[in-house]
Amino acid sequence: MRSGNRISGIDIIGNVQWGIHFCQFYRTKEDLMDILVPYFKAGLENNEYCLWAISEPVDEEEAKEALKVVIPDIGAYLENGQIDIVPYSCWHVEEDVLDPQTVFNYLTEKTSKALASGYDGLRYSGNSFSGHEKLLDSAIGKYSMMVLCTYPIDKYSAVEILDIITNHQFALTKKEDKWEQIEYSCQKNTKECRQVEDALSASEERFCTLVTASSEMVYRVSPDWSEMRYLLGVTQLAPSILFFPNFQIFELI
């Protein structure tokens, strides 16, 4: 996956990384366009392939006209295929039911084609539907894509809204005519804990490899240097064994 900051086009967010998966809650068509138009403008101006899956309250012509206001030559981008504006029905959705893997496979395939065509990655947005968010959030970080899911807030209960937020890195919502960014702290902490656990596990593996492969003496010393353990090159320290005081050296067999 290509690295580096990407310009989101959304002032409250700023720069982002590939693999970002966030959502927007909106009440009106104007709210929706307020975020999506600068979002796609930034993608087009920064060599990204853009995919906009539209549905009510916006149709294809309205989407094109909105983009034309900020990108006068939007026709050229459409003609050369850097942006596709497709109907929500392209998913072949019936009653908002769709196999999550189908969505994910479609987006990864589009990302691969975008990279092969010389674009830096894929920028996607569309009205969401239940079932696929958890899969996207767990796997999208491996790919050069960013995904912005949009939700008509009046359609969902408070419990459903909370569930939606937990399956995204953060959410955008409008309060008193100002956009706010909401993060679900439990999800954030869980991800941070997982990263710490992975780092500790990798560090432990490297340490065990060093000890078992070494022909030299390897010691473990307490932080205050009052205790020392000698680790044999054919063994590793069992975490249940306690240190002994008075700076004595013990062989662990």
Same domain, 49 and 174: yes
Q: Which of 136, 157, 183 is the last residue of a domain?
A: 183
* CATH number reported for the structural domain that contains residue 166 in this entry: 3.40.50.300
* CA 173 to each of CA 18, 32, 74, 176: distance values in angstroms, whole numbers, following the listed order: 22, 10, 28, 10
Question: Of 132, 54, 124, which Cα lies nearest the Cα of 88?
Answer: 54
Q: How many CA atoms lie within 13 A of 117 on its CB side?
A: 17
Kindly report, residue by residue over 198-226, the tens digit of the pLDDT.
665 666 677 667 666 665 666 666 556 66
Same domain, 159 and 103: yes
Q: What 3-state DSSP class applies to 204? A: helix
pTM of this structure: 0.70
Q: How many helices (H) and strands (E) does the chain have?
A: 7, 12
Lowest mean pLDDT among 27-41, 105-119, 132-146, 199-213: 199-213
Number of domains in the chain: 2
Amino acid at 226: S
Q: How many CA atoms lie within 13 A of 232 on its CB side?
A: 7
Same domain, 176 and 233: no
Q: Classify residue 111 as exposed, middle or buried by CB count within 10 Å of its CB (0-12, 13-18, 19+).
A: buried
Same domain, 173 and 115: yes
Same domain, 40 and 127: yes
Same domain, 23 and 67: yes
pLDDT at 242: 41
- Its domain, for residue 129, covers 5-183
Q: Which of 123, 153, 183 is the last residue of a domain?
A: 183
Same domain, 58 and 89: yes
